[in-house]
Amino acid sequence: PRWHPAAWNRMLARRLETRFEDHPEEVALAEALLLGRGELLTDEMHASFPRGGTYHLLVFSGLQIAFAASVLAALLRLLHAPRASDWLLLGFAALAPPFIGPTPSVARASTAIGLYAVARILKRPTSMENLWCVAAILRLLIEPRDLSDPSFHLTYGGAGALLFAGRIVKHRWLGHAAAAEIVI
């Protein structure tokens, strides 16, 4: 249906396809990079991204979701609208999975962003470490099979290392990176 965010994604993809129909490879690449839709990429293009170490450009991962959410929230906070920013984050967390697709990384990032927004809306004090724990537990309640999914372990292991190692190494960014690398 038209009201569903996945339909918005398809509508944007069709707009790209009709506007630049003379350049199918460029359209396929733009759809993959902007909309997370890599179905039109040729096998050769698909193979070249992992070889070059840039495969994450073709799929929406938690990093892209978190980055987009933080940019939106920062813009509203700069406009002195922190409450609107919190509600926007909650809406973003709810709409990202249906728009992009309910991949595990998108779902995990959206869950964490949604929990953060709810904590701010309810004016409940929290910490990133608490949000990390609650997001992991909530994700496992929603999708228990994630417990045996390596990407779940990598996501929460890496993020946990950054959060909890930060308490030990304080302001040494290299220590954070080393801790995350060791855990992963």
The rounded distance, in Å, linking the Cα atoms of 93 and 118 is: 11
The rounded distance, in Å, linking the Cα atoms of 163 and 128 is: 7
Residue pair 40/27 in contact (Cβ under 8 Å)? The answer is yes
Residue 53: its pLDDT value, please? 62
Residue 56: its pLDDT value, please? 60
Distance of CA 129 to the CA centre of its chain: 18
- The reported pTM is 0.66
Q: Which tens digits make up the pLDDT trace of 119-143?
A: 999 999 888 889 889 989 998 998 8
DSSP 125: -
Instruction: Spell out, as residue ranges, where the chain has pLDDT lower than 70.
Output: 5-6, 8-9, 16-17, 19-21, 23-24, 33-40, 46, 49-60, 102, 166, 170-171
**Residue keyed to tokens 């855990």:** 183
Residue pair 88/113 in contact (Cβ under 8 Å)? The answer is no
The rounded distance, in Å, linking the Cα atoms of 43 and 7 is: 26
For the chain, the 3-state helix, strand and coil shares in percent, each to the nearest 5, are 80, 0, 20
The rounded distance, in Å, linking the Cα atoms of 72 and 77 is: 9
Two structure tokens written together for 59: 């799929």
